């Protein structure tokens, strides 16, 4: 499909602004810019989706999270451990607050967003360790939050999708906790960057001019995985895991003009080959990051809703749950 016109306009505005290579800036400055760009995309007049409860919490005194509850009384709705995008370097609870509110209300589910440690200050495996801690905590405390531990989903976008996929692998190896579904939005699953840079791969066709670039991905990987030998570890590069059998059902969303499209699509293919139930959603005409571009592009909004609908179906969310929350 042609590039979505509203996304094209967004990219043109971004290209017209002066740009300094991210590697030449302090990480704190880049983080501020990432948050500012997401808040700007929400536009004037944005009002956060109302929920019964939104509160911050710290797990074991070390892993900050934000808990979103669609309604206050215990209802045994699904529970979600959410990991945000940002190349393991950027992002926090604020960058994805709108996304998490939408997930909590639309699934509906108790959503726990994880403020995992960021690189380069905290390189691999800090991020995946923090996220794994949160997944295990949520499985243990789901009932206290009004959730159903048997309907636990790990969900993440981009680098967060990497962490969600890694958690699914860890849970299989550890024999738990039970994960009902892994939902990966435009995930990075190959930290070597080799698959997408092959001839015809999406890094070669979309590595410049579509928002996320190959050079930015190289900087992200250098920050998070400074030791090249660690980049092939399964919880750094799930695509390179020898065995993908026995993993929870997967929803993998990719975008047509995303440099990560090739690795995400191939991961969905490898999961299916291993006998995992897979739903692959490919968003035509869109770019990396469509979960938080919904107020910029109607097509992005439809793609996000398709992703949420697939998660809801996989979790077996009850229609009466959804109707009551939206009433």
Active-site positions read 158, 258, 288
Tokens of 154: 């790990």
The answer to whether residues 41 and 9 touch, using CB atoms and an 8 Å cutoff, is: no
Q: Crossing angle, helix 298-315 and helix 5-16, to 10 degrees?
A: 120
The maximal CA–CA distance of the chain, rounded, in angstroms, is: 54
Sign of torsion over alpha carbons 49, 55, 56, 58:
negative
Q: Of 297, 301, 221, which Cα lies nearest the Cα of 263? A: 221
Burial-class residue 46 by CB neighbours within 10 Å (0-12, 13-18, 19+): exposed
C-alpha distance across the termini of the chain, in Å: 37
Q: Where are the beta strands (DSSP E) in 21-95?
A: 53-59, 63-69, 77-83
CA distance 22 to 219: 8
The answer to whether residues 36 and 285 touch, using CB atoms and an 8 Å cutoff, is: no
Distance of CA 243 to the CA centre of its chain: 22
CA distance 64 to 130: 9
- Strand-strand pairing, 63-69 and 53-59: antiparallel
Distances (CA, A) of 269 to 194, 211, 216, 274: 17, 25, 26, 9
For residue 85, what are the contacts with CB-CB under 8 A and spacing of at least 6?
A: 91, 95, 96, 156, 157, 158, 159, 160, 161, 289, 291, 292
Number of Cα atoms under 13 Å in the Cβ half of residue 282: 15
């Amino acid at each position: 499909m042609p590039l979505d016109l509203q996304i094209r306009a967004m990219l043109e505005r971004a290209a017209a602004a002066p740009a300094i290579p991210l590697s030449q800036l302090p990480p704190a400055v880049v983080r501020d810019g990432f948050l500012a760009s997401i808040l700007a995309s929400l536009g004037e007049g944005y009002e956060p989706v109302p929920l019964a409860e939104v509160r911050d919490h710290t797990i074991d005194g070390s892993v900050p999270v934000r808990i979103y509850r669609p309604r206050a009384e215990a209802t045994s709705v699904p529970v979600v451990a959410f990991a945000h995008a940002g190349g393991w370097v950027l992002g926090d609870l604020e960058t994805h607050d709108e996304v998490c509110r939408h997930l909590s209300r639309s699934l509906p589910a108790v959503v726990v967003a994880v403020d995992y440690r960021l690189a380069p200050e905290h390189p691999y495996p800090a991020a995946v360790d923090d996220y794994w801690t949160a997944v295990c905590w949520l499985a243990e405390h789901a009932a206290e939050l009004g959730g159903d531990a048997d309907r636990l989903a790990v969900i993440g976008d981009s680098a967060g999708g990497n962490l969600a996929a890694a958690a699914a692998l860890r849970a299989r190896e550890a024999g738990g906790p039970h994960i009902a579904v892994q939902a990966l939005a435009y995930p990075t699953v190959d930290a070597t960057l080799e698959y997408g840079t092959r001839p015809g791969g999406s890094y070669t066709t979309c590595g410049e001019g579509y928002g996320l670039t190959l050079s930015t991905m190289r900087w992200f990987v250098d920050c998070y995985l400074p030791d090249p030998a660690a980049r092939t570890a399964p919880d750094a590069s799930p695509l390179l895991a020898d065995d993908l059998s026995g993993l929870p059902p997967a929803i993998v969303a990719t975008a047509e003009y995303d440099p990560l499209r090739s690795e995400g699509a191939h991961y969905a293919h490898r999961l299916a080959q291993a006998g995992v139930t897979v739903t692959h959603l490919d968003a035509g005409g869109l770019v990396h990051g469509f979960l938080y571009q919904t107020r910029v592009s109607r097509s992005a909004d439809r793609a996000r809703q398709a992703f949420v609908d697939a998660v809801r179906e996989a979790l077996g969310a009850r229609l009466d749950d959804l109707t009551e929350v939206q009433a």
